[in-house]
């Protein structure tokens, strides 16, 4: 953008006053003088301070006062020519008042001042203000020595700055965390980070590891006892009949109490009745009865006993042996049942 400057031209016109006194004054004629005021244009240009700001033009008018021409003419006839003024942006031509009397004539020529526009342009960009990475270049818009130059800037980058090689360093350890268990052996964890400083530019990572474990709460946890399964095998029944008993056991091992835990609740023995059917009663003999007398036909005598002590019942065994006995009598006893006494005692 080019800023235009115009130099204002001020023209002052001086009018000549001519007085003629004739010898004979008969009639008197007074002519009203012509007054011409010419206001030339004055332009003042303030240079623009930035590239995007438009040119501000302030025009201050200049007042030029032209002293009026006073003409006093004694002769009867007076001819007055009015003043003609022509104004252009660069050249102002003023035609002064011409007074024609007999025979005087006065002509005034105005002064003309030419203006030359000033050339404005940007300077070349400056060098980047850094040798690597991002920097700044600038240039100015110069117009005249009395104007404030405008400045324009832009970013620049010649090359990436080299990154220094930095090995990583550990930060301080954090506090240990809570134990993962309240008993039975847990762990606590603490950590650190490879950020003091962090490795960069191809530097080495931190050695070792970034965490540490610590055993804790190693004491045994209390375990309450719980019963295992009942044994599958019963003991032998205490009786074969008439209602006996048998038993089986279980163990407090599922789990067994430990670490101060409580024992199993209840008994470890289960008892039940068995062989509840009634028992069979074997028969028993009563005592033998008296021998009978000798029977003449058989020549024998007998005696009996009963299987009622006790009698067999509920499938009990009968009494063993016989329920009666016999034995032969002496032959003498078979003869009419008479008892004879010989040298031997004989009882029939």
Q: What is the DSSP string of 130-141?
A: -SSSEEEEEEEE
Domains of the chain: 121-162 (no CATH), 169-216 (2.20.100.10), 224-279 (2.20.100.10), 281-347 (2.20.100.10)
- pLDDT, position 215: 96
Return the residue matching tokens 């990583």.
Answer: 168
- pLDDT, position 346: 52
Q: What is the DSSP string of 236-265?
A: PPS-SSS-EEEEEE--S-TTPPBTTPPPPP
The answer to whether 56 touches 4, Cβ cutoff 8 Å, is no
The answer to whether 243 touches 278, Cβ cutoff 8 Å, is no
Q: What is the Cα–Cα distance from 227 to 263, expressed in whole angstroms?
A: 9
Q: Which residues of 69-106 are buried (b: 16+ CB within 10 A; e: fewer)?
A: bebbbbeeebebeebebeeeeeebebbbbbbebeeeee
**Regions of the chain where pLDDT drops below 50:** 1-106, 337-344
- pLDDT, position 29: 35
- pLDDT, position 299: 86
Nearest CA among 316, 307, 319 for reference residue 242: 316
63 burial via Cβ count (<10 Å: 0-12, 13-18, 19+):
exposed
Nearest CA among 5, 6, 9, 7 for reference residue 64: 9
111 burial via Cβ count (<10 Å: 0-12, 13-18, 19+):
exposed
Q: What is the Cα–Cα distance from 172 to 188, expressed in whole angstroms?
A: 17
pTM over 0.85: no
Which residues are paired to 246 by β-bridges? 272
Nearest CA among 203, 210, 275, 209 for reference residue 239: 275
């Amino acid at each position: 953008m080019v800023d235009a400057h115009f130099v204002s031209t001020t023209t002052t016109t001086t009018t000549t006053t001519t007085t003629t006194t004739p010898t004979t004054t008969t009639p008197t004629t007074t002519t009203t003088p012509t007054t011409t005021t010419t206001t030339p244009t004055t332009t003042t240009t303030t240079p623009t301070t930035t590239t995007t700001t438009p040119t501000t033009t302030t025009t201050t008018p200049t007042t030029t006062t032209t002293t009026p021409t006073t003409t006093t003419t004694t002769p009867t006839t007076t001819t007055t020519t009015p003043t003609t003024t022509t104004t252009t942006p660069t050249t102002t031509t003023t035609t002064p008042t011409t007074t024609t009397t007999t025979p005087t004539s006065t002509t005034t020529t105005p002064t003309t001042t030419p203006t030359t526009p000033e050339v404005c342009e940007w300077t070349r960009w400056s060098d980047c203000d850094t040798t690597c990475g991002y920097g700044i270049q600038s240039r100015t818009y110069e117009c005249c020595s009395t104007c404030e130059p405008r400045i324009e800037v832009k970013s620049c980058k010649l090359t990436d700055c080299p990154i220094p090689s930095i090995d990583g360093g550990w930060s301080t350890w954090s506090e240990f965390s809570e134990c993962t268990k309240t008993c039975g052996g847990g762990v606590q964890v603490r950590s650190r980070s490879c950020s003091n400083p962090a490795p960069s530019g191809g530097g080495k990572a931190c050695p070792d590891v970034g965490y540490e474990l610590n055993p804790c709460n190693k004491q045994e946890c209390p375990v309450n006892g719980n019963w295992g399964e009942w044994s599958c095998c019963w003991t032998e029944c205490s009786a074969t009949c008439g209602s006996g008993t048998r038993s089986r056991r279980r163990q407090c091992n599922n789990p067994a109490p430990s670490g101060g835990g409580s024992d199993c609740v209840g008994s470890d023995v289960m008892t039940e009745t068995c062989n509840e059917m009634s028992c069979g009663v074997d028969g028993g003999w009563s005592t033998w009865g008296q021998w009978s007398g000798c029977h003449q036909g058989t020549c024998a005598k007998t005696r009996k006993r009963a299987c009622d002590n006790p009698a067999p019942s509920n499938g009990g065994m009968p009494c063993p042996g016989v329920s009666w006995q016999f034995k032969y009598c002496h032959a003498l006893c078979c003869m009419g049942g008479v008892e004879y006494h010989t040298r031997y005692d004989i009882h029939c």
